[in-house]
Structure 1
Amino acid sequence: MSRGALLLDVDQASKALREAQISLSLAVQLAYPVGVEVIAKIGGSKVTVKVGSYGSNWASPGDVCGVNVKTGKNRRFHYTSILGLAGDA
């Protein structure tokens, strides 16, 4: 394979990664909108967090930022830590 073809593959992979990051970020934002309270397992404990913002779609597309409802501390965690919505528990 020529160097030009390899560079084209790299560019295509980079574009695919960028599109996936944007898609993940948008999906997380739609699933857990700002203001919703979620139950998340953070540091071995289940905590209720009110969603306030999200990680950047280029560096941390799956991250959710919010405030621990009980302690008032800011929390940042990956969406895979979310166990469900607080109202569903």
Structure 2
Amino acid sequence: MTGPEVLDFAREAIWLMLAMAAPIMLVGLAVGVTIALFQALTQVQEMTLVFVPKIIAIFVALLLFLPLMGGLMAGFMAMIFDRIANP
């Protein structure tokens, strides 16, 4: 395996990681901003109010995006196996 091939694997792995993590992180961000806005508008300054809705939203997003994440991982592994079998 040459240096450019290793860099290709690393670059594709980083893009895969970003593609898998982005939907979950965006859901967490959206819920966090929404609750922060609600707290600012109602002047409810409870620190623990953010955690439960955010955890529930991230759990639901994981359930929804798990097939997409599995498909991305399966495609990446198929590409790796193809490169191993056909050097």
Q: TM tier, shorter chain? A: 0.3 to 0.5
The structure with the greater share of residues assigned to helix is 2
Query: Whose RCO is larger (CA < 8 A, sep 6+)?
Result: 2
Q: Which has the larger radius of gyration?
A: 2
Q: TM-score, normalised by structure 1?
A: 0.36
The structure with the greater share of residues assigned to strand is 1
Q: TM-score, normalised by structure 2?
A: 0.37
